[in-house]
A and B are shown apart, each in its own frame.
Chain A
């Protein structure tokens, strides 16, 4: 079981409040991703849950039990750190067995669990090596192995993939998702990468300056961002945000339209413009179009290969069903 509840949890370092009072419920078995720009307090929030930082005010409950003052070791949570934080003087086997040894588990059971984890994570051949003799991806797997052998109530991941190269990152992303499906254990995952958030999460918590901007499933955030910040943060490439005279007819201060919800025509449309730089990905093409009366170029995503080049005149038309409207405060207009 791993249901975690935060009740008016607040964190201040001296005078500086990094997390204003915040409520959040993480259900058992959920894969929750905390996402936000750097310095938004997502790692601090994770460390509060882990018990590595003291809560200034408020209450944390794990499976209904008050855990605010419980030391990290007794919370039944396992953490995977960004730097892997492996014990350099121990073999992989001893690293993975360390939490079991601390729990005074009997040796036979330790061996069984360590070998089970090594099997799942493809580490069997490396059990006698030291962390220094492993690649980044393997080290990451050892860190995960050390977490899973304990059969914790929840896993906490603190930007676990940010030290890996791009190709490995995609692979590990899948492995972690796969692990979650198999173990059905609660996972809390911190990242600044919204693609990781979108691809892995059951529930995304978008943070900014310690505040929760929105909580929802990836598609909820994609379809109905609650405010301009979430609208701009979730989705790749970013949503086009247009203000001024073009937004006014839509009864909004700012309108938002995702690159994939614009159609391009060379004859007629709502917004005339000139094609700037284009990015050809094969499956998709992104055009950056400078439209009349807009400060920023508009990004348009078109499926497949499209024959438009620099300087061509085009017309863009937003799909009205997917037009997002925001008021002067930046909040979504229903």
Chain B
């Protein structure tokens, strides 16, 4: 018997969902609101919610003081580059694990994931030394490689899960129909895996965009992305909450907009295969 859902209950659930949603979103909302306040209003007690003098001054100052576009461009290069590189490596890897598994495939997958269990700071020292040796400190190329490596296990896992959903018989049918390996991948597999690949790309891009540990530790000026841009406003000589908020808002805006427009794709991708 289906559970009867009364109107009251529905309203209650909806309300609860909104409350939880707002609670989660509140820090971001507060940051955005603060970015429109003056520094004095930003630290006012009791805090001001909407009843303050809206100003764009902080944005002007931030824009004046630092070159937002350069940070943005670095973020795009680093997040985009590491995602593209990761996908190029992960597709064949996930492919062979999904369609030509060996006895060790499960172990390899688990081992790959286990590398994510190590706290990043644990390998900071060796990586930092390596970067010095290789002259990669404060270079976009170096960060592309590091972020790609960090997210690779997740990309492989996600793609592996999607590919596993594609029945092997369909590929065999293509082979019987005279398709070469290239044609099989091009005409059969890729079109069938597109939703999965797309959501993997999206998620990886977001993860790389938001990554702050490595981007802060391995960059200084030239390769610094938006995370460094935000950090540069949390200065020790005084708390400029309004400016920090304006910088943060500017840094998260692109990814927030991207996430907003692709949320359907993301949700579909993340729950893919959960229900057959």
Task: Tell me whether A324 is interfacial, beta carbon within 8 Å.
Answer: no
CB contacts (< 8 Å) of B191 on chain A: these are 89
- Mark contacts of A49-86 with chain B using CB atoms, 8 A cut-off: 1 yes-contact digit, 0 otherwise: 01010000000000000000001111001110111011
Looking at the assembled complex, report how far the CB atom of B71 sits from the nearest CB atom of chain A, in whole angstroms: 40
Q: Do A72 and B170 have beta carbons less than 8 Å apart?
A: no
Task: Tell me whether B173 is interfacial, beta carbon within 8 Å.
Answer: yes
Closest to B191 in A: A89
Task: Tell me whether A328 is interfacial, beta carbon within 8 Å.
Answer: no
Task: Tell me whether B67 is interfacial, beta carbon within 8 Å.
Answer: no
Stretch at the interface among A97-105, A117-125, A209-217: A97-105
| Chain B binding surface SS class | helix
Q: Do A85 and B178 have beta carbons less than 8 Å apart?
A: no
- Among B173, B178, B187, B192, contact of A81 (Cβ-Cβ < 8 Å): B173
Knowing A89-B191, A102-B183, say if A73 contacts B177 (CB, 8 Å): yes
- Mark contacts of B180-201 with chain A using CB atoms, 8 A cut-off: 1 yes-contact digit, 0 otherwise: 1001000110011000000000
- Among A77, A85, A98, contact of B167 (Cβ-Cβ < 8 Å): A85
Task: Tell me whether B176 is interfacial, beta carbon within 8 Å.
Answer: yes
Task: Tell me whether B116 is interfacial, beta carbon within 8 Å.
Answer: no
Q: How far is the CA of A79 from the CA of B172 in the complex (A)?
A: 9
CB contacts (< 8 Å) of A99 on chain B: these are 177-178
Q: Do A98 and B177 have beta carbons less than 8 Å apart?
A: yes
Number of interface residues of A (CB under 8 A): 23
Looking at the assembled complex, report how far the CB atom of B164 sits from the nearest CB atom of chain A, in whole angstroms: 15
Q: How far is the CA of A77 from the CA of B172 in the complex (A)?
A: 13
Q: Do B176 and A73 have beta carbons less than 8 Å apart?
A: yes
CB contacts (< 8 Å) of A258 on chain B: these are none
Q: Do B170 and A85 have beta carbons less than 8 Å apart?
A: yes
- Mark contacts of B98-125 with chain A using CB atoms, 8 A cut-off: 1 yes-contact digit, 0 otherwise: 0000000000000000000000000000
Closest to A82 in B: B169
Task: Tell me whether A10 is interfacial, beta carbon within 8 Å.
Answer: no
CB contacts (< 8 Å) of B174 on chain A: these are 87, 98
Q: Do A52 and B172 have beta carbons less than 8 Å apart?
A: yes
CB contacts (< 8 Å) of A82 on chain B: these are 169
Q: How far is the CA of A85 from the CA of B178 in the complex (A)?
A: 15
- Among A72, A88, A103, A146, contact of B175 (Cβ-Cβ < 8 Å): A72
Q: How far is the CA of A50 from the CA of B191 in the complex (A)?
A: 25
CB contacts (< 8 Å) of A52 on chain B: these are 172, 175-176
Q: How far is the CA of A207 from the CA of B228 in the complex (A)?
A: 69
Q: Do B180 and A73 have beta carbons less than 8 Å apart?
A: yes
CB contacts (< 8 Å) of B176 on chain A: these are 50, 52, 72-73, 77-79
For residues 95 through 114 of chain A, which have their beta carbon under 8 Å from a beta carbon of chain B?
A: 98-99, 102-103
Q: Do B177 and A83 have beta carbons less than 8 Å apart?
A: no
- Among A85, A88, A98, A150, contact of B172 (Cβ-Cβ < 8 Å): A85
Q: How far is the CA of A52 from the CA of B174 in the complex (A)?
A: 11
Closest to A149 in B: B177
CB contacts (< 8 Å) of B178 on chain A: these are 73-74, 99, 102-103, 150
- Among B167, B175, B180, B187, contact of A83 (Cβ-Cβ < 8 Å): B167
- Among A81, A89, A103, contact of B169 (Cβ-Cβ < 8 Å): A81
Task: Tell me whether B179 is interfacial, beta carbon within 8 Å.
Answer: yes
Q: Do B173 and A85 have beta carbons less than 8 Å apart?
A: yes
Q: How far is the CA of A266 from the CA of B203 in the complex (A)?
A: 80
Q: How far is the CA of A50 from the CA of B174 in the complex (A)?
A: 12
Q: How far is the CA of A73 from the CA of B184 in the complex (A)?
A: 11
CB contacts (< 8 Å) of B192 on chain A: these are 87-89
Q: How far is the CA of A43 from the CA of B169 in the complex (A)?
A: 13
Q: How far is the CA of A86 from the CA of B180 in the complex (A)?
A: 17
Looking at the assembled complex, report how far the CB atom of A143 sits from the nearest CB atom of chain B, in whole angstroms: 8
Looking at the assembled complex, report how far the CB atom of A67 sits from the nearest CB atom of chain B, in whole angstroms: 14
Q: How far is the CA of A31 from the CA of B48 in the complex (A)?
A: 85
CB contacts (< 8 Å) of A71 on chain B: these are 175
Looking at B170, B173, B174, B187, which has the most chain A CB atoms within 10 Å of its CB? B173
- Mark contacts of A121-149 with chain B using CB atoms, 8 A cut-off: 1 yes-contact digit, 0 otherwise: 00000000000000000000000001000
Looking at the assembled complex, report how far the CB atom of A285 sits from the nearest CB atom of chain B, in whole angstroms: 42
Q: Do A85 and B188 have beta carbons less than 8 Å apart?
A: no
Q: How far is the CA of A86 from the CA of B174 in the complex (A)?
A: 9
CB contacts (< 8 Å) of A150 on chain B: these are 177-178
- In order of increasing CB-CB distance, the 8 nearest A-B pairs are A85-B173, A102-B178, A99-B177, A85-B169, A73-B178, A79-B176, A89-B191, A81-B169
Binding site for B on A (CB under 8 A): 50, 52, 71-74, 77-79, 81-83, 85-89, 98-99, 102-103, 146, 150
The 12 sampled A-B contact pairs (Cβ below 8 Å) are: A72-B172, A72-B176, A73-B176, A74-B178, A77-B176, A81-B173, A85-B167, A85-B172, A85-B173, A87-B188, A98-B174, A146-B173
